[in-house]
């Protein structure tokens, strides 16, 4: 297997990890004002992701760095063409992170409500825009013969991309509700589980529509199969939630998001960014990649440090695996 293909797969894996892990972070942030009926309950909701949210963002940083090093043409075209939506995502992530850190600095109710709103907005915006961005990458955007994006912001707001944004939003909210049910006890767990089932029905409709559109557009049999597997996993996750099996419900939604990401990267390969103007101007794993020597060095670095990161993150999830409730929150 060529190193360009290896690095395409590795970048896909990094995005899968980010979407699965940060997906429930976004869902928790969006559900904060909905499931948290008072300050104590909101503190419980936030504490479900408190020990892990910043570690989950590492996947995005590594994915961005790997794209820059392995496929510089892809990185340059992507960040120049998607400048505004990526800037909005970055600002939202900063606001959300500051909200997590500063919410508890003062006991004032209005202070905390303000940061709760910041966490909500900082979770909502990326949950939508990541879907819009990924859908556009797969669908194709205006790229000329010089590998430069020649469209505008509104080219990115096409029907397929907007459907992708609504799909990721609905999936992340469902994923977050299932995670809260998995990590909490009492009334919060019951309300989260009930909400997951309600939102999950809408998410299922959006996901099926998006999967069908992607499969038909790609015409690849593998995309059909992966999309069908994602739909089955989501139904299984909702069924587990209905039975009160929180762990299996979370596995179901996590597998769904992971398979949906695999479907998108399968539909994309061997391109990394198709041109909607002329397919001969597509950015591919070959014409957008770094030199073979660069990829070789990167492969050795990834082989050494990736297991260390995975072990550390797995350990952190194991340490903070227990459920929490209002009884664990000091006054």
Structure confidence by residue, pLDDT tens digits, 2-11: 899 999 999 9
Confidence of residue 209 (pLDDT cuts 50, 70, 90): very high
**Residue 329 in this model has a pLDDT that exceeds 80:** no
DSSP for 277-330 reads S-GGG-EETTTT---HHHHHHHHHHHHHHHHHHHHHHHHHHHHT-S-B-GGGS-
The pLDDT tens digits for 270-322 are 999 999 888 899 999 999 999 889 999 999 988 888 888 889 888 988 988 88
> Number of C-alpha atoms within 13 angstroms, CB side, residue 299?
16
Of 10, 4, 2, 36, nearest to 265 by C-alpha is 10
Residue with the bigger pLDDT between 93 and 326: it is 93
Residues counted in the chain:
331
| pTM reported for the whole predicted model | 0.94
Could you give the percent of the chain with pLDDT greater than 70? 100
Mean pLDDT of 236-246: 94
What are the boundaries of each domain within the chain? 3-140+149-268+278-328
Average pLDDT, the chain: 92
> 66 by DSSP, 3-state: which?
helix
Q: What is the pLDDT of residue 159?
A: 95
| Span 3-140+149-268+278-328 CATH architecture | Up-down Bundle (1.20)
Mean pLDDT, residues 124-136 taken together: 95
């Amino acid at each position: 297997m060529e190193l360009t293909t290896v690095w395409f797969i590795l970048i896909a894996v990094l995005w899968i990890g980010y979407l699965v892990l940060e997906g429930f972070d976004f869902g928790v942030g969006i559900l904060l004002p909905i499931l948290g009926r008072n300050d104590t309950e909101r503190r419980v909701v936030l504490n479900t992701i408190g020990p892990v949210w910043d570690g989950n963002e590492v996947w995005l940083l590594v994915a961005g760095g790997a794209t820059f090093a392995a496929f510089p043409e892809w990185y340059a075209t992507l960040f120049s063409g998607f400048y505004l939506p990526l800037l909005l995502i970055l600002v939202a992530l900063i606001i959300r992170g500051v909200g997590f850190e500063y919410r508890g600095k003062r006991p004032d109710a209005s202070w905390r409500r303000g940061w709760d709103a910041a966490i909500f907005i900082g979770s909502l915006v990326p949950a939508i825009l990541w879907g819009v961005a990924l859908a556009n990458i797969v669908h194709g955007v205006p790229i000329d013969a010089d590998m430069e994006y020649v469209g505008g912001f509104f080219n990115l707001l096409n029907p397929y991309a907007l459907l992708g944004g609504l799909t990721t939003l609905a999936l992340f909210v469902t994923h977050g509700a299932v995670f809260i049910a998995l990590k909490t006890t009492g009334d919060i767990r019951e309300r989260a589980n009930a909400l997951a089932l309600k939102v999950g029905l809408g998410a299922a409709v959006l996901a099926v529509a998006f999967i069908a559109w992607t499969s038909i557009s790609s015409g690849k049999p593998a995309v059909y199969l992966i999309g069908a597997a994602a739909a089955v996993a989501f139904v299984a996750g909702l069924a587990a939630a209905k039975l009160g099996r929180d762990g299996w419900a979370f596995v179901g939604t996590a597998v769904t998001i992971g398979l949906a990401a695999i479907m998108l990267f399968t539909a994309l390969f061997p391109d990394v960014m198709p041109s909607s103007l002329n397919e001969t101007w597509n950015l591919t794993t070959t014409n957008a990649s770094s030199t073979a020597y660069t990829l070789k060095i990167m492969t050795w670095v990834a082989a050494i440090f990736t297991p260390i990161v995975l072990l550390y993150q797995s350990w952190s999830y194991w340490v903070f695996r227990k459920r929490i409730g209002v009884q664990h929150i000091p006054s």
